[in-house]
Amino acid sequence: MTSIAPMTPLEPAEQESFDASLRRRAKAVIPGGLWGHMNAARLPEGYPQYFVRARGCRLWDVEDNEYIDFMCSYGPMILGYGDEDVERAAASQRAQADIANGPAPCVVELAELVVTTVPHADWVIFAKNGTDATTACVTLARAGTGRRKVLVARGSYHGAVPWCTPSLAGVTAEDRAHLLHFEYNDIASLEAAADEAGDDLAAILVAAFRHDVRRDQELATPEFARAARALCDRKGAALIVDDVRAGFRLHLGGSWETLGVRPDLAAWSKAIANGRALAAVTGNDRFRQAAQEIFITGSFWCAAVPMAAAIATLHKLHATDAVGHMARMGERLRAGIEAQARRHGIGVRQTGPVQMPMILFDDDPDLEKGNLFAAAALRHGVYLHPWHNMFLSLAHGEAEIDQALEATDHAFAAVAQQYG
Protein backbone atom coordinates (compact mmCIF):
# COMPACT_ATOMS: atom_id res chain seq x y z
CA MET A 1 0.00 0.00 0.00
CA THR A 2 1.35 3.36 -1.01
CA SER A 3 0.92 6.61 0.84
CA ILE A 4 1.40 10.21 -0.16
CA ALA A 5 2.66 13.22 1.72
CA PRO A 6 -0.13 15.47 3.00
CA MET A 7 -0.63 18.46 0.74
CA THR A 8 -0.16 22.02 1.88
CA PRO A 9 -3.68 23.47 2.13
CA LEU A 10 -4.67 25.78 -0.70
CA GLU A 11 -4.81 29.07 1.15
CA PRO A 12 -3.10 32.43 0.81
CA ALA A 13 0.26 33.05 2.41
CA GLU A 14 0.92 36.25 4.30
CA GLN A 15 1.60 39.33 2.18
CA GLU A 16 0.46 37.55 -0.95
CA SER A 17 -2.98 37.42 -2.54
CA PHE A 18 -4.63 34.00 -2.86
CA ASP A 19 -4.41 34.28 -6.64
CA ALA A 20 -0.69 35.08 -6.42
CA SER A 21 -0.11 32.21 -4.01
CA LEU A 22 -1.88 29.77 -6.31
CA ARG A 23 0.07 31.04 -9.32
CA ARG A 24 3.34 30.61 -7.46
CA ARG A 25 2.51 27.04 -6.53
CA ALA A 26 1.17 26.30 -10.03
CA LYS A 27 4.39 27.50 -11.68
CA ALA A 28 6.28 24.75 -9.86
CA VAL A 29 4.10 21.92 -11.19
CA ILE A 30 2.53 23.24 -14.43
CA PRO A 31 4.86 24.64 -17.12
CA GLY A 32 4.37 28.40 -17.35
CA GLY A 33 1.66 28.20 -14.69
CA LEU A 34 -1.04 27.11 -17.15
CA TRP A 35 -1.23 25.70 -20.67
CA GLY A 36 -3.11 27.31 -23.51
CA HIS A 37 -5.63 30.05 -24.04
CA MET A 38 -6.65 30.53 -20.41
CA ASN A 39 -3.19 31.44 -19.13
CA ALA A 40 -3.73 34.84 -17.48
CA ALA A 41 -0.14 35.77 -18.32
CA ARG A 42 -1.58 36.55 -21.77
CA LEU A 43 -3.80 39.23 -20.22
CA PRO A 44 -3.14 42.66 -18.65
CA GLU A 45 -2.06 42.83 -15.04
CA GLY A 46 -4.93 42.54 -12.62
CA TYR A 47 -6.72 39.73 -14.41
CA PRO A 48 -7.44 36.79 -12.11
CA GLN A 49 -6.19 33.34 -13.04
CA TYR A 50 -8.52 31.30 -10.83
CA PHE A 51 -12.26 31.25 -10.29
CA VAL A 52 -14.25 29.80 -7.42
CA ARG A 53 -17.83 30.45 -8.45
CA ALA A 54 -19.90 30.82 -11.61
CA ARG A 55 -23.63 31.61 -11.88
CA GLY A 56 -25.65 33.05 -14.75
CA CYS A 57 -23.36 35.50 -16.54
CA ARG A 58 -21.27 36.12 -13.43
CA LEU A 59 -17.92 34.83 -12.22
CA TRP A 60 -16.17 35.19 -8.88
CA ASP A 61 -12.40 35.00 -8.48
CA VAL A 62 -10.57 33.61 -5.43
CA GLU A 63 -10.59 37.03 -3.74
CA ASP A 64 -14.39 36.99 -4.11
CA ASN A 65 -14.38 39.75 -6.73
CA GLU A 66 -17.51 39.48 -8.87
CA TYR A 67 -17.49 40.00 -12.63
CA ILE A 68 -20.07 40.19 -15.36
CA ASP A 69 -18.40 37.82 -17.77
CA PHE A 70 -18.19 38.53 -21.50
CA MET A 71 -15.95 35.56 -22.29
CA CYS A 72 -18.38 32.78 -21.33
CA SER A 73 -15.42 30.49 -20.68
CA TYR A 74 -14.25 31.36 -24.23
CA GLY A 75 -17.55 30.19 -25.67
CA PRO A 76 -18.91 27.06 -23.98
CA MET A 77 -21.28 28.91 -21.65
CA ILE A 78 -24.28 29.96 -23.77
CA LEU A 79 -27.32 29.66 -21.45
CA GLY A 80 -25.65 30.83 -18.25
CA TYR A 81 -23.31 29.13 -15.81
CA GLY A 82 -25.17 26.49 -13.83
CA ASP A 83 -28.29 26.74 -16.03
CA GLU A 84 -30.97 24.92 -14.08
CA ASP A 85 -32.56 23.09 -17.00
CA VAL A 86 -29.23 21.76 -18.20
CA GLU A 87 -28.10 20.85 -14.68
CA ARG A 88 -31.35 18.99 -14.03
CA ALA A 89 -31.03 16.97 -17.24
CA ALA A 90 -27.38 16.19 -16.52
CA ALA A 91 -28.04 15.16 -12.93
CA SER A 92 -30.90 12.94 -14.00
CA GLN A 93 -28.70 11.15 -16.54
CA ARG A 94 -25.84 10.88 -14.04
CA ALA A 95 -28.13 9.17 -11.54
CA GLN A 96 -28.55 6.43 -14.16
CA ALA A 97 -25.26 6.11 -16.06
CA ASP A 98 -22.52 8.24 -17.58
CA ILE A 99 -19.79 6.01 -18.96
CA ALA A 100 -20.35 2.31 -19.70
CA ASN A 101 -19.29 -0.17 -22.38
CA GLY A 102 -21.46 1.72 -24.84
CA PRO A 103 -23.56 4.86 -24.90
CA ALA A 104 -26.90 5.46 -23.20
CA PRO A 105 -30.03 5.74 -25.36
CA CYS A 106 -29.73 9.54 -25.25
CA VAL A 107 -27.00 9.33 -27.91
CA VAL A 108 -29.77 8.47 -30.38
CA GLU A 109 -31.99 11.28 -29.17
CA LEU A 110 -29.13 13.78 -29.40
CA ALA A 111 -28.06 12.58 -32.84
CA GLU A 112 -31.63 12.91 -34.13
CA LEU A 113 -31.91 16.36 -32.55
CA VAL A 114 -28.66 17.56 -34.16
CA VAL A 115 -29.65 16.20 -37.57
CA THR A 116 -33.05 17.89 -37.23
CA THR A 117 -31.47 21.18 -36.15
CA VAL A 118 -28.64 21.36 -38.71
CA PRO A 119 -29.94 21.37 -42.30
CA HIS A 120 -26.79 20.09 -43.98
CA ALA A 121 -26.45 17.19 -41.53
CA ASP A 122 -27.49 13.69 -42.54
CA TRP A 123 -25.44 12.27 -39.69
CA VAL A 124 -23.34 13.22 -36.68
CA ILE A 125 -20.39 11.82 -34.69
CA PHE A 126 -19.63 13.05 -31.17
CA ALA A 127 -16.20 13.74 -29.66
CA LYS A 128 -14.71 15.88 -26.86
CA ASN A 129 -12.52 18.72 -28.22
CA GLY A 130 -13.10 21.17 -31.03
CA THR A 131 -9.76 19.97 -32.36
CA ASP A 132 -11.14 16.41 -32.45
CA ALA A 133 -13.90 17.69 -34.72
CA THR A 134 -11.77 19.79 -37.09
CA THR A 135 -9.20 17.00 -37.39
CA ALA A 136 -11.94 14.47 -38.11
CA CYS A 137 -13.40 16.75 -40.79
CA VAL A 138 -10.06 16.93 -42.58
CA THR A 139 -9.58 13.17 -42.28
CA LEU A 140 -13.12 12.57 -43.55
CA ALA A 141 -12.63 14.86 -46.51
CA ARG A 142 -9.46 13.01 -47.48
CA ALA A 143 -11.05 9.59 -46.99
CA GLY A 144 -14.14 10.59 -48.96
CA THR A 145 -12.35 12.19 -51.89
CA GLY A 146 -9.19 10.13 -52.01
CA ARG A 147 -7.26 13.40 -52.21
CA ARG A 148 -4.92 15.25 -49.88
CA LYS A 149 -4.84 19.06 -50.24
CA VAL A 150 -6.78 21.21 -47.81
CA LEU A 151 -7.18 24.97 -48.24
CA VAL A 152 -7.17 27.00 -45.03
CA ALA A 153 -7.28 30.75 -44.46
CA ARG A 154 -4.02 32.31 -43.40
CA GLY A 155 -4.17 33.04 -39.67
CA SER A 156 -7.35 31.11 -38.93
CA TYR A 157 -7.37 29.06 -35.73
CA HIS A 158 -8.60 25.49 -36.20
CA GLY A 159 -7.23 23.80 -33.10
CA ALA A 160 -4.09 22.97 -31.18
CA VAL A 161 -2.40 19.89 -32.64
CA PRO A 162 0.58 19.92 -35.00
CA TRP A 163 -1.35 20.30 -38.27
CA CYS A 164 -3.08 23.47 -37.06
CA THR A 165 -1.68 24.87 -33.81
CA PRO A 166 -0.39 28.48 -33.80
CA SER A 167 3.01 27.62 -32.28
CA LEU A 168 5.45 25.83 -34.57
CA ALA A 169 7.40 24.31 -31.64
CA GLY A 170 7.46 20.54 -32.10
CA VAL A 171 5.73 20.76 -35.49
CA THR A 172 7.36 19.14 -38.54
CA ALA A 173 7.02 20.39 -42.10
CA GLU A 174 5.24 17.16 -42.98
CA ASP A 175 2.48 17.89 -40.46
CA ARG A 176 1.35 20.70 -42.76
CA ALA A 177 2.58 19.34 -46.10
CA HIS A 178 -0.86 19.30 -47.71
CA LEU A 179 -2.21 22.64 -46.48
CA LEU A 180 -2.50 25.53 -48.92
CA HIS A 181 -3.44 29.03 -47.84
CA PHE A 182 -5.86 31.69 -48.96
CA GLU A 183 -6.98 35.03 -47.54
CA TYR A 184 -10.34 34.94 -45.77
CA ASN A 185 -13.07 36.51 -47.94
CA ASP A 186 -10.72 36.80 -50.92
CA ILE A 187 -12.17 34.74 -53.76
CA ALA A 188 -9.19 35.22 -56.06
CA SER A 189 -6.78 33.88 -53.44
CA LEU A 190 -9.11 30.94 -52.79
CA GLU A 191 -9.18 30.07 -56.46
CA ALA A 192 -5.43 30.45 -56.76
CA ALA A 193 -4.94 28.01 -53.88
CA ALA A 194 -7.40 25.59 -55.49
CA ASP A 195 -5.49 25.82 -58.75
CA GLU A 196 -2.34 24.98 -56.90
CA ALA A 197 -4.03 21.92 -55.40
CA GLY A 198 -4.97 20.79 -58.91
CA ASP A 199 -6.73 17.44 -58.95
CA ASP A 200 -5.60 16.70 -55.38
CA LEU A 201 -8.07 19.08 -53.69
CA ALA A 202 -9.79 17.34 -50.77
CA ALA A 203 -11.37 20.26 -48.95
CA ILE A 204 -11.76 23.91 -48.18
CA LEU A 205 -11.73 24.39 -44.40
CA VAL A 206 -13.11 27.75 -43.37
CA ALA A 207 -14.02 29.34 -40.05
CA ALA A 208 -17.65 30.41 -39.64
CA PHE A 209 -16.36 33.98 -39.80
CA ARG A 210 -12.94 35.56 -39.52
CA HIS A 211 -12.41 35.61 -35.77
CA ASP A 212 -8.63 35.77 -35.65
CA VAL A 213 -7.18 37.33 -32.52
CA ARG A 214 -5.75 40.87 -32.38
CA ARG A 215 -7.49 42.08 -35.55
CA ASP A 216 -10.92 43.17 -36.71
CA GLN A 217 -13.39 40.37 -37.18
CA GLU A 218 -15.02 39.84 -40.58
CA LEU A 219 -18.23 38.04 -41.33
CA ALA A 220 -17.94 35.83 -44.38
CA THR A 221 -19.38 37.64 -47.37
CA PRO A 222 -22.20 35.83 -49.18
CA GLU A 223 -20.12 36.04 -52.38
CA PHE A 224 -17.16 34.38 -50.72
CA ALA A 225 -19.30 31.64 -49.18
CA ARG A 226 -21.01 30.95 -52.50
CA ALA A 227 -17.68 30.91 -54.32
CA ALA A 228 -16.27 28.39 -51.84
CA ARG A 229 -19.36 26.20 -52.28
CA ALA A 230 -19.22 26.44 -56.08
CA LEU A 231 -15.52 25.68 -56.13
CA CYS A 232 -16.00 22.55 -54.01
CA ASP A 233 -18.86 21.43 -56.22
CA ARG A 234 -16.86 22.00 -59.39
CA LYS A 235 -13.78 20.23 -58.03
CA GLY A 236 -15.54 17.47 -56.13
CA ALA A 237 -14.02 18.65 -52.85
CA ALA A 238 -15.57 18.95 -49.40
CA LEU A 239 -16.63 22.30 -48.00
CA ILE A 240 -15.91 22.23 -44.24
CA VAL A 241 -17.16 24.98 -41.95
CA ASP A 242 -15.36 25.22 -38.60
CA ASP A 243 -18.24 26.26 -36.34
CA VAL A 244 -16.46 25.30 -33.12
CA ARG A 245 -16.25 28.85 -31.82
CA ALA A 246 -19.31 30.47 -33.42
CA GLY A 247 -21.71 27.52 -33.42
CA PHE A 248 -25.19 28.17 -31.95
CA ARG A 249 -24.62 31.92 -31.53
CA LEU A 250 -25.34 33.06 -35.11
CA HIS A 251 -27.85 30.40 -36.21
CA LEU A 252 -28.76 27.08 -34.63
CA GLY A 253 -28.51 25.33 -37.99
CA GLY A 254 -24.93 26.42 -38.57
CA SER A 255 -23.41 29.86 -39.00
CA TRP A 256 -23.44 29.75 -42.79
CA GLU A 257 -27.22 29.26 -42.81
CA THR A 258 -27.25 33.05 -42.44
CA LEU A 259 -25.54 33.16 -45.85
CA GLY A 260 -27.65 30.49 -47.51
CA VAL A 261 -24.63 28.24 -48.02
CA ARG A 262 -24.39 24.70 -46.67
CA PRO A 263 -21.16 22.84 -46.03
CA ASP A 264 -20.57 19.12 -46.56
CA LEU A 265 -18.95 18.76 -43.15
CA ALA A 266 -18.93 20.96 -40.06
CA ALA A 267 -17.05 20.94 -36.75
CA TRP A 268 -18.82 21.87 -33.52
CA SER A 269 -17.97 22.02 -29.85
CA LYS A 270 -17.85 24.79 -27.20
CA ALA A 271 -21.49 25.83 -26.67
CA ILE A 272 -23.16 22.54 -27.68
CA ALA A 273 -23.63 21.30 -24.09
CA ASN A 274 -23.45 24.64 -22.19
CA GLY A 275 -19.99 23.83 -20.87
CA ARG A 276 -19.79 20.08 -20.61
CA ALA A 277 -17.11 18.46 -22.73
CA LEU A 278 -18.63 17.57 -26.07
CA ALA A 279 -17.79 18.11 -29.73
CA ALA A 280 -19.53 17.02 -32.91
CA VAL A 281 -18.88 16.45 -36.58
CA THR A 282 -21.89 16.80 -38.85
CA GLY A 283 -21.86 15.65 -42.45
CA ASN A 284 -23.99 14.89 -45.44
CA ASP A 285 -24.59 11.52 -47.06
CA ARG A 286 -21.73 12.03 -49.50
CA PHE A 287 -19.34 11.47 -46.57
CA ARG A 288 -21.28 8.81 -44.68
CA GLN A 289 -19.23 5.95 -46.09
CA ALA A 290 -15.98 7.76 -45.30
CA ALA A 291 -17.21 8.27 -41.75
CA GLN A 292 -17.46 4.51 -41.40
CA GLU A 293 -13.99 3.94 -42.85
CA ILE A 294 -11.97 6.30 -40.70
CA PHE A 295 -11.29 5.23 -37.13
CA ILE A 296 -11.81 7.98 -34.58
CA THR A 297 -12.68 7.45 -30.96
CA GLY A 298 -11.90 8.47 -27.42
CA SER A 299 -12.31 7.02 -23.96
CA PHE A 300 -15.08 9.46 -23.00
CA TRP A 301 -16.78 10.04 -26.34
CA CYS A 302 -19.77 7.88 -25.40
CA ALA A 303 -20.27 9.50 -21.98
CA ALA A 304 -23.98 10.09 -21.49
CA VAL A 305 -24.06 13.09 -19.15
CA PRO A 306 -22.63 15.60 -21.64
CA MET A 307 -25.10 14.26 -24.21
CA ALA A 308 -28.03 14.77 -21.85
CA ALA A 309 -26.71 18.28 -21.21
CA ALA A 310 -26.52 18.90 -24.96
CA ILE A 311 -30.11 17.77 -25.49
CA ALA A 312 -31.29 20.17 -22.81
CA THR A 313 -29.08 22.94 -24.21
CA LEU A 314 -30.35 22.58 -27.78
CA HIS A 315 -33.98 22.44 -26.69
CA LYS A 316 -33.55 25.57 -24.59
CA LEU A 317 -31.71 27.39 -27.38
CA HIS A 318 -34.65 26.59 -29.67
CA ALA A 319 -37.36 27.41 -27.14
CA THR A 320 -35.96 30.73 -25.95
CA ASP A 321 -34.83 32.18 -29.28
CA ALA A 322 -31.43 32.48 -27.67
CA VAL A 323 -29.83 33.64 -30.93
CA GLY A 324 -32.28 36.53 -31.19
CA HIS A 325 -31.75 37.42 -27.54
CA MET A 326 -27.96 37.42 -27.88
CA ALA A 327 -28.27 39.54 -31.02
CA ARG A 328 -30.46 42.10 -29.21
CA MET A 329 -28.17 42.25 -26.20
CA GLY A 330 -25.15 42.45 -28.49
CA GLU A 331 -26.72 45.38 -30.33
CA ARG A 332 -27.40 47.10 -27.02
CA LEU A 333 -23.79 46.63 -25.91
CA ARG A 334 -22.39 47.73 -29.24
CA ALA A 335 -24.56 50.85 -29.40
CA GLY A 336 -23.63 51.75 -25.83
CA ILE A 337 -19.90 51.29 -26.45
CA GLU A 338 -20.16 53.27 -29.68
CA ALA A 339 -21.87 56.20 -27.93
CA GLN A 340 -19.37 56.17 -25.07
CA ALA A 341 -16.39 56.09 -27.41
CA ARG A 342 -17.79 59.06 -29.32
CA ARG A 343 -18.48 60.97 -26.12
CA HIS A 344 -14.95 60.33 -24.85
CA GLY A 345 -13.47 61.19 -28.23
CA ILE A 346 -11.86 57.78 -28.64
CA GLY A 347 -11.86 55.81 -31.85
CA VAL A 348 -12.88 52.15 -31.48
CA ARG A 349 -13.75 49.43 -33.96
CA GLN A 350 -16.44 46.91 -33.09
CA THR A 351 -16.46 44.16 -35.68
CA GLY A 352 -18.02 40.81 -36.47
CA PRO A 353 -21.37 39.55 -35.21
CA VAL A 354 -22.80 41.46 -32.24
CA GLN A 355 -23.28 38.17 -30.33
CA MET A 356 -19.49 37.77 -30.35
CA PRO A 357 -18.12 41.26 -29.70
CA MET A 358 -14.63 42.43 -30.52
CA ILE A 359 -13.53 45.90 -29.40
CA LEU A 360 -10.24 47.23 -30.76
CA PHE A 361 -8.92 50.78 -30.50
CA ASP A 362 -7.72 53.00 -33.33
CA ASP A 363 -4.02 53.83 -33.40
CA ASP A 364 -3.27 51.05 -30.94
CA PRO A 365 -0.66 48.81 -32.62
CA ASP A 366 0.59 47.35 -29.31
CA LEU A 367 -2.88 47.10 -27.77
CA GLU A 368 -1.90 49.49 -24.99
CA LYS A 369 -5.21 51.33 -25.10
CA GLY A 370 -7.12 48.08 -25.30
CA ASN A 371 -5.25 46.62 -22.36
CA LEU A 372 -5.81 49.76 -20.30
CA PHE A 373 -9.50 49.74 -21.20
CA ALA A 374 -10.01 46.08 -20.35
CA ALA A 375 -8.07 46.30 -17.08
CA ALA A 376 -10.10 49.34 -16.01
CA ALA A 377 -13.38 47.59 -16.88
CA LEU A 378 -12.21 44.60 -14.86
CA ARG A 379 -11.65 46.79 -11.80
CA HIS A 380 -15.25 47.91 -12.25
CA GLY A 381 -16.53 44.34 -12.29
CA VAL A 382 -16.69 43.51 -15.99
CA TYR A 383 -14.55 40.78 -17.55
CA LEU A 384 -13.72 41.79 -21.14
CA HIS A 385 -10.93 40.55 -23.39
CA PRO A 386 -8.58 43.07 -24.99
CA TRP A 387 -7.76 41.12 -28.16
CA HIS A 388 -9.90 37.98 -28.47
CA ASN A 389 -13.51 37.96 -29.57
CA MET A 390 -15.94 37.89 -26.68
CA PHE A 391 -19.23 36.03 -26.23
CA LEU A 392 -22.74 36.84 -25.10
CA SER A 393 -25.18 34.34 -23.63
CA LEU A 394 -28.85 33.95 -22.87
CA ALA A 395 -28.00 34.96 -19.28
CA HIS A 396 -26.89 38.44 -20.32
CA GLY A 397 -30.01 40.59 -19.91
CA GLU A 398 -30.57 44.31 -20.32
CA ALA A 399 -29.66 44.98 -16.70
CA GLU A 400 -26.30 43.21 -17.08
CA ILE A 401 -25.52 45.00 -20.34
CA ASP A 402 -26.35 48.34 -18.75
CA GLN A 403 -24.27 47.53 -15.67
CA ALA A 404 -21.41 46.58 -17.96
CA LEU A 405 -21.77 49.87 -19.80
CA GLU A 406 -21.32 51.77 -16.54
CA ALA A 407 -18.00 49.98 -16.14
CA THR A 408 -16.92 50.65 -19.72
CA ASP A 409 -17.72 54.34 -19.26
CA HIS A 410 -15.17 54.42 -16.45
CA ALA A 411 -12.78 52.46 -18.62
CA PHE A 412 -13.13 54.91 -21.52
CA ALA A 413 -12.47 57.74 -19.08
CA ALA A 414 -9.24 56.02 -18.06
CA VAL A 415 -8.19 55.66 -21.71
CA ALA A 416 -9.12 59.29 -22.42
CA GLN A 417 -7.12 60.48 -19.44
CA GLN A 418 -4.00 58.65 -20.62
CA TYR A 419 -4.33 59.10 -24.38
CA GLY A 420 -6.82 61.96 -24.85
Query: Which residues, numbered 383-412, are part of the site for a second copy (CB under 8 A)?
Result: 383
Contact pattern from residue 76 through residue 115 relative to a second copy, giving x for each residue in contact according to CB under 8 A and a dash for the rest: xx---x--------------xxxxxxxxxxxxxx-xxxxx
In the complex with a second copy, which residue's Cβ is closer, 77 or 341?
Answer: 77
State the burial class of residue 218 (Cβ atoms within 10 Å of its Cβ: 0-12, 13-18, 19+): middle
Per CB under 8 A, contacts with a second copy among 304-343 are: 306, 315, 318, 321, 323-324
State the burial class of residue 234 (Cβ atoms within 10 Å of its Cβ: 0-12, 13-18, 19+): exposed
DSSP state of 81: B
In the complex with a second copy, which residue's Cβ is closer, 286 or 349?
Answer: 286
Torsion on CA atoms 204, 209, 213, 215, rounded to nearest 10: 110
In the complex with a second copy, which residue's Cβ is closer, 131 or 340?
Answer: 131
Sheet holding 58-61, edge to edge: 51-55, 58-61, 66-69, 382-383
Per CB under 8 A, contacts with a second copy among 233-262 are: 244, 252-253
DSSP state of 159: -
CA gap 248, 233 in Å, rounded:
26
Contact pattern from residue 186 through residue 205 relative to a second copy, giving x for each residue in contact according to CB under 8 A and a dash for the rest: --------------------
Q: Which of 122, 183, 186, 368 binds a second copy (CB under 8 A)?
A: 122
In the complex with a second copy, which residue's Cβ is closer, 341 or 354?
Answer: 354
Q: Which of 13, 46, 53, 331 binds a second copy (CB under 8 A)?
A: 53
In the complex with a second copy, which residue's Cβ is closer, 133 or 341?
Answer: 133
In the complex with a second copy, which residue's Cβ is closer, 259 or 341?
Answer: 259
Cα angle 404, 410, 411; round to 5: 85
Per CB under 8 A, contacts with a second copy among 130-189 are: 130-132, 135, 138-144, 148, 160-162, 165-167, 169-172, 174-175, 177-178
Q: Is 379 in the site for a second copy (CB under 8 A)?
A: no
Total length of the chain:
420
CA distances from 260 to 137, 225, 280, 289, 377 (A): 21, 9, 21, 26, 38
- For residue 67, give the nearest of 381, 402, 380, 392 by alpha carbon: 381
Per CB under 8 A, contacts with a second copy among 264-283 are: 269-270, 275-277, 283
